[in-house]
Protein backbone atom coordinates (compact mmCIF):
# COMPACT_ATOMS: atom_id res chain seq x y z
CA UNK A 1 0.00 0.00 0.00
CA UNK A 2 1.21 3.55 -0.61
CA UNK A 3 2.97 5.27 2.25
CA UNK A 4 3.10 9.06 2.72
CA UNK A 5 6.65 10.33 2.28
CA UNK A 6 6.04 13.12 4.78
CA UNK A 7 4.40 11.47 7.81
CA UNK A 8 4.70 7.73 7.07
CA UNK A 9 0.93 7.17 7.03
CA UNK A 10 -0.01 3.94 5.25
CA UNK A 11 -2.95 4.67 2.99
CA UNK A 12 -6.02 2.48 3.09
CA UNK A 13 -7.08 0.57 0.00
CA UNK A 14 -10.09 2.84 -0.58
CA UNK A 15 -7.92 5.97 -0.31
CA UNK A 16 -5.35 4.52 -2.70
CA UNK A 17 -8.03 3.61 -5.24
CA UNK A 18 -8.49 7.34 -5.91
CA UNK A 19 -4.97 7.36 -7.38
CA UNK A 20 -6.08 5.21 -10.31
CA UNK A 21 -7.42 8.22 -12.18
CA UNK A 22 -5.18 10.88 -10.66
CA UNK A 23 -1.42 11.09 -10.38
CA UNK A 24 -1.56 13.29 -7.28
CA UNK A 25 -3.54 13.40 -4.07
CA UNK A 26 -3.30 14.81 -0.58
CA UNK A 27 -2.37 12.64 2.36
CA UNK A 28 -5.45 11.95 4.51
CA UNK A 29 -3.32 12.26 7.64
CA UNK A 30 -1.07 15.33 7.15
CA UNK A 31 -2.72 16.99 4.09
CA UNK A 32 0.50 17.27 2.04
CA UNK A 33 0.47 16.70 -1.70
CA UNK A 34 1.72 13.28 -2.74
CA UNK A 35 2.42 12.15 -6.30
CA UNK A 36 2.59 8.71 -7.85
CA UNK A 37 6.23 7.85 -8.43
CA UNK A 38 7.50 7.35 -11.97
CA UNK A 39 8.11 3.68 -11.19
CA UNK A 40 4.45 3.20 -10.18
CA UNK A 41 3.16 4.93 -13.30
CA UNK A 42 5.41 2.80 -15.53
CA UNK A 43 4.36 -0.37 -13.73
CA UNK A 44 0.67 0.45 -14.16
CA UNK A 45 1.16 1.08 -17.88
CA UNK A 46 2.94 -2.28 -18.24
CA UNK A 47 0.16 -4.13 -16.44
CA UNK A 48 -2.44 -2.65 -18.76
CA UNK A 49 -0.81 -4.66 -21.56
CA UNK A 50 -1.97 -7.82 -19.76
CA UNK A 51 -5.47 -7.17 -21.07
CA UNK A 52 -4.25 -8.13 -24.56
CA UNK A 53 -3.05 -11.63 -23.51
CA UNK A 54 -6.51 -13.22 -23.88
CA UNK A 55 -6.46 -12.17 -27.54
CA UNK A 56 -3.63 -14.63 -28.22
CA UNK A 57 -5.28 -17.38 -26.20
CA UNK A 58 -8.66 -16.98 -27.92
CA UNK A 59 -6.98 -16.90 -31.33
CA UNK A 60 -4.96 -20.07 -30.71
CA UNK A 61 -7.94 -22.03 -29.41
CA UNK A 62 -10.41 -20.49 -31.86
CA UNK A 63 -12.72 -19.14 -29.15
CA UNK A 64 -15.44 -16.56 -29.68
CA UNK A 65 -15.25 -12.80 -29.25
CA UNK A 66 -17.39 -13.02 -26.10
CA UNK A 67 -14.85 -15.31 -24.43
CA UNK A 68 -12.11 -12.81 -25.28
CA UNK A 69 -14.15 -9.91 -23.89
CA UNK A 70 -14.92 -11.88 -20.73
CA UNK A 71 -11.26 -12.76 -20.13
CA UNK A 72 -10.16 -9.18 -20.85
CA UNK A 73 -12.77 -7.72 -18.53
CA UNK A 74 -11.78 -10.16 -15.76
CA UNK A 75 -8.10 -9.27 -16.09
CA UNK A 76 -8.90 -5.55 -16.15
CA UNK A 77 -10.97 -5.78 -12.96
CA UNK A 78 -8.22 -7.81 -11.26
CA UNK A 79 -5.58 -5.24 -12.25
CA UNK A 80 -7.71 -2.36 -10.97
CA UNK A 81 -8.41 -4.07 -7.64
CA UNK A 82 -4.76 -4.97 -7.02
CA UNK A 83 -3.17 -1.75 -8.30
CA UNK A 84 -3.08 0.11 -4.93
CA UNK A 85 -0.80 -2.61 -3.57
CA UNK A 86 2.05 -1.68 -5.92
CA UNK A 87 1.75 2.12 -5.74
CA UNK A 88 4.57 4.17 -4.26
CA UNK A 89 4.39 7.89 -3.56
CA UNK A 90 6.86 10.77 -3.78
CA UNK A 91 7.01 14.40 -2.63
CA UNK A 92 7.36 15.79 -6.13
CA UNK A 93 6.15 14.88 -9.56
CA UNK A 94 8.81 12.80 -11.31
CA UNK A 95 9.27 12.66 -15.07
CA UNK A 96 8.59 9.29 -16.69
CA UNK A 97 11.85 9.21 -18.63
Whether residue 51 is contained in a domain is answered as yes
The pTM assigned to this predicted structure is: 0.72
Which percentage of the chain shows pLDDT scores above 70?
100
CA distance 53 to 67: 12
Task: Give a yes or no: residue 76 inside a domain.
Answer: yes
Specify the DSSP class assigned to residue 91: S
Does residue 6 belong to any structural domain of this protein?
no
Task: Kindly state whether residue 33 falls inside one of the protein's structural domains.
Answer: yes
Q: How many CB atoms lie within 10 A of CB 20?
A: 14
- CA–CA distance, 69 with 36 (Å, rounded to integer): 30
Look at residue 93 in the predicted model and tell me its pLDDT.
Answer: 85
The rounded mean pLDDT for the chain is 85
Range of the domain at 72: 13-90
Residue 62's pLDDT band (cuts 50, 70, 90): confident
In a domain, 79, yes or no: yes
37 part of a folded domain? yes
- Name the band, by pLDDT with cuts 50, 70 and 90, for residue 80: confident
Amino acid sequence: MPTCQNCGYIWRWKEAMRLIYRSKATCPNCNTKQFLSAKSRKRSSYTSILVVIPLGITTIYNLSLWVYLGFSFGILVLILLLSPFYYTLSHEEEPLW
